[in-house]
Amino acid sequence: MSDKAWGGRFEEEIDDVALRFSESVSFDHRLYREDIEGSVAHVRMLASRGIIPAADAEKIEAGLGQVKKEIEAGEFEWDVHKEDVHMNIEARLTANIGDAGGRLHTGRSRNDQVATDMRLWVRRACHETSKAVEGLVAVLSVRAAGTVDVLMPGYTHLQRAQPVRLAHHLLAWAEMLLRDRGRLEDAARRLNECPLGAGALAATTFPIDREATAAALGFDRPTRNSLDTVADRDFLVEFVAALANCAVHLSRIAEELVLWSSQEYGFVRMSDAFTTGSSMMPQKKNPDMAELVRGKTGRVVGDLVTLLVMLKGLPLAYNRDMQEDKPPVFDAFDTVTDSLAVLTGAIATARFGVDAMRAALATGFLDATEVADYLVTKGVPFRDAHHVAGRLVARAVTDAKTLSELPLDVYREEHAAFDDDVYGALDMETAVERRDVAGGPKRARVEAAIAELRERLTGFSVDIETIARAHGAEERP
């Protein structure tokens, strides 16, 4: 094939600036597997329908296999003058097998071809990201099992609020991530329709079998409208939206790790493998990997915005703007996959500051709600009990005492219902154990939640023990 602009109408070479501006092979070459897979399915269908000779189809399929080997061996030279991954592969195929290679594109446009490639790629990417999510959740399940007995402050507004179990907190992270997995699974299910056969926008005059190519590529069915097929990038928006949501969750987890690793908290000590030092201050051990996860979230959110803005003004059907869909999709996938891997290793190898967590329970009046609940059990309306507890907190602040250090006569000054059994209600372990409701932090509830989480992971065919060993995770604080 000539290196001139594609198509017989053109006589001049494309301008160098225009070529550099418009080529996509520098990033879409990573679609080569999907491009070849789609081409094999297409050429088999063409032969089965008698549209091209069977002998040519066999040569094309063998030739595509050879091109794939060249690419994976690093012997393939990507040529920007051929614009994209599709034309690079087809040109190399024709150079290898001759004129038969020119029959491959029969009944197909690059518009339905790239739509097919991207759906195949995103379907695989959804699966890979889901597996990475499962790996992090598996590590969280192991760490939760080892921290059931560890109590810590729960926070609202970054203020100490009520005591919870560390395992309960880790399980909260797992729930966030499993919702992300569900969104990825849902996106993969909705995208699973095959674009091949839609052509440039109005299908083709050849008697193709769209159901056959859809089945060969593992799609549920062909797409329903040729115009919509080549214009649709909803599946990319859904995929990147799921990634952006996951990135935000990872950022929130990372933020807590950053806070917890500070001397002010002392709730976690990150391993050397996931921290760095300072160029000036030798004492520093910075949680850089967690900070980078937090920082890279902005990129993924930006990738989603890029897609939405790119699509918002496009008429049907295909427009060249849509070439710009690939860099943000690839970037979002790479960034989230790396972030999941980093946090999986960091959490697996972290050491939790059990003593610091328990010490933090002693200040901040985390037992104030217990005072109010105690009065409610004595028949006092909760709103009245809430006010009494608040006055007792104010008294404790004035006297520089904790609630458990206030004498009984002070309690009785505020309400006659208080008796000396109030001090038992202020015990942190007792406070946690009294929260015996579904989803609560009582020990038995947390242990049941860990067991149920492991059942969910097993249902996804996750080998928890193997993942834990691979990342050095143990059932320990």
From the list 157, 262, 271, 471, the catalytic residue is 157
Instruction: Answer for the pair 472, 159: CB distance below 8 angstroms, yes or no.
Output: no
CA atoms of 261 and 10, how far apart (whole Å): 63
CA atoms of 136 and 12, how far apart (whole Å): 54
Annotate 253-307 with DSSP letters as a single string.
HHHHHHHHTSTTT--EE--GGG-B--SS-TT--B-HHHHHHHHHHHHHHHHHHHH
Closest CA to 56 of 87, 90, 109, 99: 99
Does the annotation count 278 as an active-site position?
Answer: yes
**Tokens for 4?**
């001139």
CA atoms of 225 and 229, how far apart (whole Å): 6
Query: Angle between the 32-48 and 85-97 helix axes, to the nearest 10 degrees?
Result: 60
Element (DSSP H or E) covering residue 161: strand 159-165
Does the annotation count 157 as an active-site position?
Answer: yes
Annotate 295-343 with DSSP letters as a single string.
HHHHHHHHHHHHHHHHHTTPPSS--GGGGGGHHHHHHHHHHHHHHHHHH
From the list 105, 278, 387, 415, the catalytic residue is 278
Instruction: Answer for the pair 296, 246: CB distance below 8 angstroms, yes or no.
Output: no
Cis peptide before 317 (omega within 30 of 0): yes
Instruction: Answer for the pair 253, 261: CB distance below 8 angstroms, yes or no.
Output: no
CA atoms of 295 and 297, how far apart (whole Å): 5
Active site residues: 157, 278
